[in-house]
Every structure is written in C-alpha cells, then in structure tokens.
Amino acid sequence: MSSEYSKTVDALTGCLPQIERVAEAMAECRQSGGNVILFEDDNAAHDFNAAQMGSNDFLFIISPSGSNNNLLSLLRTASRRGLTTACLTFNPASVITDVVMFSIVPLIGPVRNPGTESLTIQLVKEMLEKSVSGVDAEVGAAVKQADALMEKGINAVMIEAGISDYNLAKQLLLKYGSVHKAVESLKNV
C-alpha cells in the first residue's frame, strides 16, 4: 500500500461522520429538486454567477488551504441566498469551516502533501457520489468502504489514546468526528 494511500485512509477514517452528514444533505437537496454545485477551482468560482443558485441548491467547495477569497465570497453569497453549504479542506483552523454548514477536514499531517491531498479529494468525491447516486450496488460499496474506514478510526483512537474499550473509542469517534478530536477529548478529562 502506498504511503499516500495509507495517509488518506487514516485521514478519512476520522471524517466518516462528516462525510455521511454531507452525503445526507446532498441527497435531501436532490430529493427536493435542487442541484449540487461543486467548485475546486477558484477561477471557476470567480466567473460563476451567484444569481444562478436557488435556495434548494447545495454548494460544495474543495479548498485545500481553506482560505481562498473567491471561494469564501461565493460561500458567503450562497449562505445569504439560503443554500446548504459544505467544504472539504485540509486546514482545520481555516475561515472556510466557520462559513459553511458542513465541513470535511481530513487531517493528513503537519506538512502538506499534494499527492495525499489529491487522492483524498478523489476518494471523498467518489464516496459522496456513490452515497447520493441511488444505485444500490454503489451505495453498498460506499457503505463497505465507510465501515472499513470507521474500523481503522476506532483502532486509531484506541492506540493513540491508550485505551482498550472498543465501544468507548467508537462513541468518541462518532461524537467528535475525528481521531484527533476524540483523543484530545480524553486529555481534557
């Protein structure tokens, strides 16, 4: 298994609850007749006419740094128009996470790695597409992938926190949404 893939799987493990919430919100949007709008290029966001967005639409932004001004401006406009908003970023302290309703923040390490970021973006997009596609086989595959990542996350919480209680590790991971936050919660007790 490549180093980038291992880092990506580990990072996504802690984000499964976040990914699930985004997928559910996307599915609700589509069921209500809305569109899912995705931007990962700030030039496209700059050229996009925000007046085209309807209140039933869902805006999903991919911003590795979480600080792109064009994307932030688009998100603020979308929020004012009543859209459901979400982002994927690798910077947990970024402004973008405060602007959106839902955020997916995989923690892939202290040093940015374009290979790991690219693979993470690709896998998150695939998981979201499969989750809202309505095709049973694809949803089943996404659920199996999510279950495998959840197991890795639970094991990571147990190892990093030095606990042996599987159910406690699972509860912490679900409550805090990431391995890092789950482990930190135990340090604050």
Length of the chain: 189
Confidence (pLDDT) at 129 = 73
Task: Given CATH 1.10.760.10, say whether it is the number of domain 3-181.
Answer: no
Residues 166/154, Cβ–Cβ less than 8 Å: yes
pLDDT at 102 (0 to 100)? 93
What's the pLDDT at 140?
A: 41
Nearest to 178 by CA among 111, 108, 116, 83: 108
Q: What is the domain partition of the chain in residue ranges? A: 3-181
Per-residue pLDDT of the chain (189 residues; tens, 9 = 90+): 455 566 677 777 778 888 888 888 888 888 888 888 888 766 566 666 666 777 888 888 888 888 888 888 888 888 888 889 999 888 888 899 999 999 998 877 666 667 777 777 777 777 777 666 543 333 344 445 566 677 777 888 888 889 999 999 888 877 877 777 888 888 876
**What is the reported pLDDT for 137?**
37
* 160, burial (CB in 10 Å: exposed 0-12, middle 13-18, buried 19+): middle
Give pTM, 2 decimals: 0.65
Task: Determine contact, residues 121/4, Cβ cutoff 8 Å.
Answer: no
